[in-house]
Amino acid sequence: MNADDTLRGSASKELFQILRDGAPRTRSELATLTGFSRSTVAQRVEVLMRGGLLRPVGDAASTGGRPSTQFVFNTTGRVVLAVDVGASHVKIAISDLRGRPLVGDSVAIEVAAGPEEVLSWVERSGIALLETAGYQLADLVAIGVGLPGPVEHSTGRPINPPIMPGWNRYDVAGRLRASFGVEVLVDNDVNIMALGERELAWPDVDHLMFVKVATGIGSGVISSGSLQRGDQGTAGDIGHIFVSRGSDVLCRCGNRGCLEALASGPAIASALSSRSITASTSQDVIDLVRLGNLDAIQAVRQAGRDVGEVLTACVSLINPAVIVIGGSMAQAGEHLIAGVREMVYSRSMPLATGHLQITQSRAGADAAILGASMLAIQFVFSPEQVDDVLLLGR
């Protein structure tokens, strides 16, 4: 993109941000709203139409003379590719410009198989899905990817991910950018899930924390309406915060008393095993709880209290309006969340919990794909990027 495009872009941005609300408007209304000349508006509407971001709709009631065409945000004019890489599955979807999946596909691949196997499948299946949905490569505006480990968001590379051998500092964004010719946004799975949960269930909430309790424990933090990654992208990484009852429990990170070493699915299973109850995975624990096993119920409740102890500090520090508990262990009925609530409400200051909701994930298994779509859409429609979208592949 040359400097001249950048300069002309500023008018497009302003028009497009106005039209993103979904209401149809005439050229003349847009000129009044922005203060741009009629000719600037006409030219930029043309560019936005050519970019697939606007479409004309029926004529406005005219006061006489030539009828005035209205223009509206064309939510299916272009698409994004959403990718959710889990420990033992990969899901992808082609989503519209509101983040809603149009078509999807999934496959059972271990992430430990390495980036070549996983990303080759994403490339093949992504191209095929585009065609199934009736789009071309030039219609794709961006790709959002969630990975099950720490990610350097600015470069799109996983950083020392514990369950992803072969992926350390692999250029995921660069590889998919080369294959598809569009920007690729990569983030860790919990951040993606926070975006998805908010989009689906809490669109008007600006302060939301999504906590995943599964094989590991982590969180995605949305403050003032934006996903917070912190200085090095590790914001939300609550799995290794110290829990007071656990000072003698060794964690895989080398410290003692980490939340993850006490309250993750495998940690609960291990505690049950030490009492001669057969359990080794999150699913084993969930099954025992569903069968009404009292030891398992007690252990899950205690894990909830441990998570709650850590969340009490989080509530004091960031004062969220909503805490969503997700991940596989959230399926163990109300016991986990009951423990969380017990601790948070007894230990926090009243002003911080007066309006706080602590609730189960509603997006469930769909949170990640929806979130990956939103990650891509929020990027391409940010004020800094929208020009590039208009020009890409056109």
In terms of CB distance, is 64 or 354 closer to a copy of itself? 354
Shorter beta-carbon distance to a copy of itself: residue 134 or 383: 383
Q: Minimum CB separation from a copy of itself for residue 113, in Å?
A: 25
Other Cβ atoms closer than 10 A to 31: 18
Q: Smallest gap, in angstroms, from Cβ of residue 75 to a copy of itself?
A: 25
Q: Which residues bind a copy of itself (CB under 8 A)?
A: 7-8, 10-11, 14, 32-37, 40, 150, 159-160, 206-207, 219, 221, 223-224, 226, 228-238, 240-242, 244, 247, 253, 255, 309-310, 312-314, 316-321, 347-349, 351-352, 354-356
**Tally: H helices and E strands in the chain:** 14, 15
369's tokens? 């794909």
Give me the least distance between CB of 153 and a copy of itself, in Å please: 12
Q: Looking at beta carbons only, is 280 or 316 nearer to a copy of itself?
A: 316
Spatial distance between the Cα atoms of 167 and 252, rounded to a whole number of angstroms? 19
Min. distance of Cβ 215 from a copy of itself in angstroms?
Answer: 17
Residue type, 337: I
Q: Are 244 and 272 in contact (CB under 8 A)?
A: no
Q: Which two tokens stand for residue 366?
A: 């769909």
Q: Provide, rounded to whole angstroms, the least separation between the CB of residue 11 and a copy of itself.
A: 5
Q: What is the DSSP string of 291-306?
A: TT-HHHHHHHHHHHHH
Output 76 or 223, the one with its CB closest to a copy of itself: 223
CB-CB contact of 25 with 19 (8 Å): yes
Contact residues for 53 (Cβ-Cβ < 8 A; gap 6+) = 16, 73, 74, 77, 78, 97, 389, 390
Helices 294-318, 335-347: axis angle to 10 degrees equals 40
Distances in Å between the Cα of 205 and the Cα atoms of 225, 323, 355, 358, 375 are: 7, 11, 12, 13, 17
Structure tokens at 18: 């106005």
Q: How far is CA 47 from CA 12, 23, 274, in A?
A: 8, 19, 66
Sheet strands (E) in the chain: 25-26, 54-60, 68-73, 79-85, 90-95, 101-107, 140-147, 151-152, 157-158, 183-188, 208-213, 217-223, 226-228, 322-326, 357-360
> DSSP assignment of 139-182, as one string?
GEEEEEEEESS-EETTTTEE-S-TT-TT-TT--HHHHHHHHHSS
Q: What angle (nearest 5°) sits at the alpha carbon of residue 108, between those of residues 142 and 219?
A: 60
Q: For a copy of itself, which is the closer residue by CB, 273 or 316?
A: 316
Minimum CB separation of residue 94 from a copy of itself in Å reads: 30
Closest distance of CB 348 from a copy of itself, Å: 8
The CA angle 118-123-127, to the nearest 5 degrees, is 145
